[in-house]
Structure 1
Amino acid sequence: MKEKRTEVAVIGGGIVGCAVAYYISKLGYEVTIIEKNELASGTSSHCDGNILAIDKDPGFDSQMALKSQKLIGQLVKELPMEFEYRQPGSILVCETEEEMGAAERWVKSQQEAGLPFRMLDQSDLRYESKYLADDLLGGLECGSDSTVNPYLLTYALYEGAKQLGASLMKQTSVKNMSYDNENYTIETDRGVITANQVVNCGGVWAPEMGEMLDLKIPIYPRKGHILVSSRQVPVSPRKVMEFGYLMSKFGGERKVDEDIVKYGVALVFEPTQSQNFLLGSSREFVGFSTDVDWDVVKSVARRCMRFYPKLKDMNLLRAYAGLRPWTADNLPIVSDVKQYPGYYVAAGHEGDGIGLAAITGKVIAEMISNQSTSIDLEPLRYDRFEKEGVQL
């Protein structure tokens, strides 16, 4: 078997893994990405391109998102490839007076935290898009929100890392891993890799990598569907979600029909640079299946038509489903692991992997190089679940 030596092995070639590789390479480390398929072949190519603060809890969560947004803006200038970056802001729309009241409280708390939020009324929505339903009462806006092509950003991050000396082993499956109190030995189907440090960026497969060292990583696959339209007239100029999306994301109660609740469906509308749009979304725990469920697709389409009634006259190209790496507290694991010096986990971002990839990559690089981190990592620690009674 071939043997390879590297300073840092990054397991997983999705957007988080490539961001980690880029920021570590910037510090002069020798980095090897190990990917079992192709770059961005998993969750990173089965999602939309949100870089959002609008749907984050006020406080640590929203501040982390804001820092990542600023880093993405810097990457536009740093990386050797374009990745369809735009910063039009995004909005949440409200159906009821109850939602409007909750939105006002949400906006106030975000404004107090220094984020660019503001309320919208019915006239604002009419100005936003003539295709939005007339009975919507208003909503809210976050002006810092942006969007990217996640596939292109993944490749741009890798190309940036490659120019700094990083290497990629694709079509390479990790079969086993061991630690001898000094180095990690990673056995793959293409040879053995030894590394001083390992970063587990496996997403929904991060637990499988952890088991090789008898680590329990509490990340679970949460399936989501996205519908893709053909090129249409411009429907809305930027990201639009329903306020109920927050309730769907965090498990709150909603006044919607049974199937919408069952499949975790909420409006997500995202225009793309190529003049079509994406529609979502759904949230289900159904194991590792990525088969398209047409009952879910129908529920997503029906929910989207409630907010954009004229969608019924527009054409769809396709539908697809992907897996989001979910944790019980809706925050990722970005952490060292005390049992194994030099072993880090950067996974569990669920639907925020695109938006939080940059800050994740930066803080992992800061930890590896023993620098002060850009954000407080206590809420993202691996061992936090043990404190909450989850056996690791």
Structure 2
Amino acid sequence: MSERRTADVLIMGGGIVGMSIAYFASRAGLSVTVLEKGEIAQGTSSRCDGNILVIDKEPGFDSLMSLESQKIIADLTRRLPLAFEYRAPGSIFVCETEDELSAARQWVDRQSALGLPFRMLDRADIREESPMFSDDLAGGLECASDSTVNPYLLTYALAEGARQHGVDIRLRTEVRSIVRSEGEGFAVETDRGRWLAGKLVNAAGCWAPRLGQMVGLDIPIVPRKGHLIVAARQNPVGMRKVMEFGYLMSKFGGSRQVDEDTDRYGVALVFEPTESQNFLIGSSREFAGFDTTVRPEVIRAMARRAIRFYPGIADFQIIRTYTGLRPWTPDHLPIVSRVEAIPGYYIAAGHEGDGISLAAVTGKLMSELLAGTEKTCIPAEPLRYERFQETRG
């Protein structure tokens, strides 16, 4: 019996976004194959934190899209065959100054007007959150719906769920070229043979532009490097995700009153406790191509920033440090879209630091686009690939 080399849908990329699409598309009844050049979750999905956040999203479409992803993730805890360390404790921003606190009030007002569960926190609330916080913090804000997962485990849970729905996952299989068939569909040449598919999904994250070039597409995604520190908990620090309000300015390119290294490396406090009782400290944001070298000067800047907010962790033990690449787009929104100029070609990439957060809603939306569903779970228009061509034109 010959090996099956055809599929309704061929997904290129075995990270959390690719596996989410595979899971939802197979549940919709489509025949799906995933091609991954390495191992499951080998790229960005294994080099990140694991938060499903609304708190850091622009009020409007961005925050409502994230809220929908949170609802889907909560449902997946009951559907997927493997547990993935899901918790929903909420998250907070802390404000260093009164000016930040004033800006935070505006942020909360805009999010609350959309019906999202935001509230302000005063100094007493901050101290109750963690006795290790610096005494001079002005306050903060909370989003009660925010949740967290283990990104590795969620990716594997989606992959196993996809397999149970008949998905063929091919690892260590690198795409070498893509040829559009004279009729409908594509022939995809890999280092392990040829696959034929009616529809092709580019879910390769930072590497999506390389696959786009194979069909003549310019995909405006650039890798944005981020560092993380894993530290050992010697005393209780906090039970949920904490970021400084300046993280928003770092994420979206605003200006802050910080020291030179903090500004240069896009450093902002991110604290995340893990289920194993250690914690992650972040973060940094740099455009450095595909370089994933850990830079001591960036780690020092991140450590200084963490100690500014948590003076009591200065003597905690660092277990390891690592970097990851975030697939950045010019407008900070992902591309989750069919490509009008190439019928049957789809893109699901460009999530920057929100790949874990938006993987679930991306998978569901893409499955709906692939199936031709008239009403999608969220509006697809803001995520269209063609928005960049229209801007350039």
Shorter-chain-normalised TM-score: which range?
Answer: over 0.9
Q: Residues of 2 paired with 1:101 and 1:214: CA distance?
A: 47
SS at match of 2:19: helix
Residue 3 of structure 1 deviates from its aligned partner by 7.1
The match for 2:129 is 128
Tell me the CA shift for residue 92 of structure 1. 0.1
Alignment pair present for 1:7 and 2:8:
yes
Deviations 1:93-149 (CA, angstroms, capped at 9, x unpaired): 001111111000000110000100000000001100001111001000000000000
User: Structure 2 CA distance, aligned partners of 1:127 and 1:235?
Assistant: 11
What's the secondary structure of 2:68's corresponding residue? Answer: helix
- Corresponding residue number in structure 2 for 1:283: 285
Question: Aligned equivalents of 1:313 and 1:19: distance in 2?
Answer: 40
TM-score w.r.t. length of structure 1: 0.98
1:231-250 matches, cutoff 5 A: 231-250=233-252
Secondary structure at the residue paired with 2:34?
strand
Give the match for residue 384 of structure 1: 387
Amino acid in the other structure paired with 2:389: E
Letter in 2 for 1:196: G
Q: Which runs of 5+ in 2 are unaligned?
A: none
Q: What is the one-letter code of the residue matched to 1:306?
A: R
Please state whether the residue corresponding to 2:314 is helix, strand or coil.
helix
- What residue identity is the alignment partner of 1:333? I
Identify the match of residue 204 of structure 2 among 197, 202, 205: 202
* CA–CA separation in structure 2 for the residues paired with 1:51 and 1:156: 16
Q: Which of 176, 183, 186 lines up with 1:184 in the alignment? A: 186
Conservation of the 8 A alpha-carbon contact between 1:2 and 1:192:
no
Unpaired segments ≥5 residues, structure 1: none
- Rounded to whole Å, the distance in 2 between the matches of 1:231 and 1:93 is 21
Q: Which residue of 2 aligns with 1:95?
A: 96
For residue 74 of structure 1, report the CA deviation from its aligned partner.
0.2
Rounded Cα–Cα distance in structure 2 between residues aligned with 1:3 and 1:212: 24
- Superposition deviation, residue 233 in structure 1: 2.2
| Matched residue type, 2:96 | E
- 2:250–2:268: 8 Å Cα contact kept in structure 1? yes
Contact 1:232–1:275, Cα closer than 8 Å, also in 2: no
Q: Is the 8 A contact 1:324 1:350 kept in 2?
A: yes
Do 1:222 and 1:325's aligned partners in 2 also have CA atoms closer than 8 Å? Answer: yes
Say which SS state the counterpart of residue 9 (structure 1) adopts: strand
Distance 2:88 2:235 in 1: 21
Q: Give the drift of 1:378.
A: 1.2
**Residues 210-265 of structure 1, C-alpha deviations (whole Å, 9 max, x = no match):** 00000000000000000001243221110000000000000001000010010000
Cα distance in 2 for partners of 1:103, 1:152 equals 33
**Alignment-derived partner of residue 173 in structure 1:** 174
Q: Give matches, 1:213-228, under 5 Å.
A: 213-228=215-230
Equivalence for 1:306: 308
CA RMSD of aligned residues (A): 1.1
1:24-80 Cα offsets, whole Å, 9 max, x none, are 010111111100000000000000001000000100000000000000000000000
Deviations 1:300-330, CA, capped at 9 Å, x for gaps: 1111110001111110100000100000000
2:46: which partner in 1? 45
Q: 1:37-186 maps to which residues of 2 (within 5 A)?
A: 37-180=38-181, 181-186=183-188
Query: What amino acid is aligned across from residue 386 of structure 1 in structure 2?
Result: Q
Q: Tell me, yes or no, if the aligned pair for 1:210 and 1:217 is still in contact at 8 Å.
A: yes
